[in-house]
């Protein structure tokens, strides 16, 4: 069983934080957050998003870590075990009775949906990571000859050339597959964690530059002044979808991470810290990017937003190319760490279910994900004529997976945790000798999963559905 070696992986508390933050922190914060905020009208959406992080994100994240930690397994095997199947996984069911057929069906399919979502997300995540690589290389090449770099030109070359995107995507996927196949990811994710301070410094410097533009006050008003009339029926669903994406909830990744945790880790605090740090980074990304959007009259929203704005900034600021190289290098490392988290999730589940050797599992996953990435990589060029619901392929996938599949899986997992797991084991995880209110905290958490957060996600999904018609 892989479990025996897993329990020793996060020997220190810092090791867990670095890996969990390395997985949470990625393109979701810098690439996706700003464009979703732009599409949803700014400040009111930011408030809604923060509200959802606290209300839904924190309890759900703790729930996924909990499922992994007490069952000592990844999502799919844990759900199959809960469905009453015979697996060599720790039994953490509260009730002895075998679940009803509908529940068994739900438990098995929710896990599969989580894994399919992970693979498709990884596919277009790899495409965007390829974009990051492209800008990194362009900036590196023109480091000593800054005139050679044209921010708009670099983006156009990329968008017009789908095969270049596919090539960069393959390079990225290959790198990720090699790292996972050789079991190097834990070292590397920690590395990503260590690189974060450098990244924070670079982001502070870029944000200061950005805030010195005359467009800054208008941009800050857009970002922080809530105009609730800008929200639509789709906004709550989009906020929840993004909360799950950025916190890596609803994929099964955090269940796998939970299974690697050592016994003494205090889960509520871990969940809360990961959520606050991740949200702070996203907000900071907004502060950095929106003055540039307003300044350059860029097209609001859309997956190209980050790549339209940051390269422009670095090409106008003194010494900007060095900042640009640093920024895209850190961004690439962050997206590498996140891609590894996604990839590892599929391989870990697969290995525990089917006992496939790590290297064979990794090669199969890489091949499937590569095939899935062909569509999104070519979506701005060869396949630009393919539109689904008025959107290009990449945007369609992003919307369908993040706003629908993720919330559905996350909802099922949270309800599994809330209703089916042994309460005694969960309550023990909240037991912290240092904090007196831990029993109350546990009760509030279970109550919120059962009666508050679940219904909120359902209502958000229903509103989103109504908005489709």
114 binds ligand PHE (CB under 6 A): no
Contact 460, 240 (CB under 8 A): yes
Which region among 244-252, 269-277, 314-322, 391-399 touches ligand PHE (by CB under 6 A)?
244-252
CA distances in angstroms from 404 to 76, 234, 389, listed in the order given? 19, 11, 15
Residue 411 and residue 464 in contact, taking contact as beta carbons nearer than 8 Å: no
Does the protein bind ligand PHE through residue 338 (CB under 6 A)? yes
Cβ at position 247, least distance to ligand PHE in Å = 6
Q: How far is the CB of 28 from ligand PHE (least distance, A)?
A: 2
Binding mask of the shown chain, residues 252 to 271, with x at each position contacting ligand PHE by CB under 6 A: -x------------------
DSSP class per residue in 313-361: HHHHSTTHHHHHHHHHHHHHHHHHHHHHHHHHHHHHHHHHHH---HHHH
Of 172, 184, 177, 185, nearest to 360 by C-alpha is 177
Residue nearest to ligand PHE (CB): 28
Q: What phi, psi does 389 have (nearest 5°)?
A: 55, 40
Q: Which residues pair with 93 in a beta bridge?
A: 421
Size of the site for ligand PHE (CB under 6 A): 14
Q: How far is the CB of 176 from ligand PHE (least distance, A)?
A: 11
Min dist CB 345 to ligand PHE, Å, is: 6
Name the residue with tokens 């919330």.
Answer: 407
416 in contact with ligand PHE (CB under 6 A): no
Question: Residue 388 forms beta bridges with which residues?
Answer: 391
Q: What is the DSSP letter of 100?
A: P
Pick the closer one to ligand PHE by CB: 142 or 335. 335
Query: Which of residues 56 and 151 has its CB atom nearest to ligand PHE in the complex?
Result: 56
Binding residues among 38-97 for ligand PHE as defined by CB under 6 A? none
Query: DSSP 3-state assignment of 391?
Result: strand
Looking at beta carbons only, is 71 or 279 nearer to ligand PHE?
279
- In whole angstroms, the minimum distance from the beta carbon of 423 to ligand PHE comes to 28
Cα(363)–Cα(188) distance, integer angstroms = 19
- DSSP secondary structure string for all residues of 182-251: TT-HHHHHHHHHHHHHHHHHHHHHHHHHHHTSTTHHHHHHHHHS--GGG--TTHHHHHHHHHHHHHT-SS
Contact flag: residue 342 with ligand PHE (CB under 6 A): yes
User: Of 31 and 87, which CB lies nearer to ligand PHE in the complex structure?
Assistant: 31
Residues 8-27, interacting with ligand PHE (CB under 6 A): 23-24, 26-27
Q: By CB under 6 A, is residue 248 in contact with ligand PHE?
A: yes
Give me Rg for the CA atoms of the chain. 22
Count the Cβ atoms, other than its own, within 10 Å of residue 277: 16
Binding residue (CB under 6 A) for ligand PHE from 40, 165, 246, 308: 246
Q: Does 251 bind ligand PHE (CB under 6 A)?
A: yes
Q: Which stretch binds ligand PHE (CB under 6 A): 74-82, 188-196, 241-249, 421-429?
A: 241-249
CB of 270 vs ligand PHE, minimal distance in Å:
16
Residues whose CB is less than 8 angstroms from the CB of residue 231 and which lie 6 or more positions away in sequence, other chains included: 40, 41, 44, 45, 48
Residue 29 interacts with ligand PHE (CB under 6 A): yes or no: yes
Residues whose CB falls within 8 Å of the CB of residue 174, separated by 6 or more in sequence, listed in order = 366
User: Which region, judged by CB under 6 A, interacts with ligand PHE, from 4-12, 106-114, 243-251, 355-363?
Assistant: 243-251
Q: What is the DSSP letter of 452?
A: I
Residue 309 CB, nearest approach to ligand PHE (Å): 18
Task: Give residues in contact with ligand PHE (CB under 6 A).
Answer: 23-24, 26-29, 245-246, 248, 251, 253, 338, 341-342
């Amino acid at each position: 069983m892989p479990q025996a070696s897993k329990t020793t992986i996060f020997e220190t508390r810092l090791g867990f934080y670095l890996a969990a933050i390395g997985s949470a922190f990625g393109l979701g914060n810098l690439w996706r957050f700003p464009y979703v905020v732009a599409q949803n009208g700014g400040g009111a959406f930011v408030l809604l998003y923060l509200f959802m992080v606290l209300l839904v994100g924190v309890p759900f994240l703790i729930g996924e870590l909990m499922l992994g930690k007490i069952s000592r397994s990844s999502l799919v095997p844990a759900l199959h075990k809960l469905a009453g199947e015979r697996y060599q996984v720790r039994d953490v069911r509260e009730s002895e009775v075998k679940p009803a057929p509908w529940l068994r069906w739900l438990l098995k399919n929710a896990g599969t949906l989580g894994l399919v979502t992970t693979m498709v997300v990884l596919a277009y995540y790899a495409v965007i990571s390829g974009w990051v690589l492209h800008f990194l290389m362009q900036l590196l090449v023109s480091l000593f000859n800054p005139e050679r770099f044209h921010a708009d030109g670099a983006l156009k070359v990329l968008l017009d050339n789908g095969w270049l995107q596919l090539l960069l995507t393959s390079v990225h996927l290959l790198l990720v597959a090699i790292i996972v196949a050789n079991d190097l990811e834990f070292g590397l994710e920690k590395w990503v964690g260590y690189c974060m301070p450098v990244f924070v410094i670079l982001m502070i410097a870029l944000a200061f530059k950005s805030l010195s533009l005359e467009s800054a006050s208008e941009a800050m008003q857009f970002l922080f002044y809530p105009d609730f009339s800008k929200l639509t029926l789709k906004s709550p669903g989009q906020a929840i979808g993004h909360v799950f994406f950025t916190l890596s909830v609803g994929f099964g990744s955090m269940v796998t991470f939970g299974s690697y945790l050592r016994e003494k880790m205090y889960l509520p605090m871990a969940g809360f810290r990961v959520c606050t740090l991740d949200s702070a980074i996203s907000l900071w990304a907004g502060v950095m990017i929106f003055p540039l959007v307003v300044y350059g009259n860029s097209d609001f929203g859309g997956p190209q937003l980050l790549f339209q704005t940051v390269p422009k900034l670095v090409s106008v600021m003194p010494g900007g190319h060095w900042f640009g190289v640093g920024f895209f290098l850190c961004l690439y490392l962050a997206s590498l760490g996140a891609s590894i988290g996604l990839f590892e999730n599929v391989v870990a589940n697969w290995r525990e279910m089917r006992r496939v050797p790590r290297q064979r599992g990794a090669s199969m996953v890489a091949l499937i994900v590569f095939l899935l990435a062909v569509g999104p990589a070519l979506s701005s060029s060869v396949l630009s004529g393919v539109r689904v619901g008025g959107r290009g392929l990449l945007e369609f996938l992003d919307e369908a997976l993040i706003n629908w599949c993720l919330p559905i899986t996350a909802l099922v997992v949270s309800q599994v945790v809330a209703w089916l797991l042994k309460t005694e084991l969960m309550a023990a995880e909240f037991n912290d000798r240092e904090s007196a209110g831990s029993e109350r905290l546990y009760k509030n958490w279970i109550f919120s999963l059962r009666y508050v957060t679940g219904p909120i996600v359902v209502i958000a999904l229903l509103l989103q559905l109504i908005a489709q018609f």
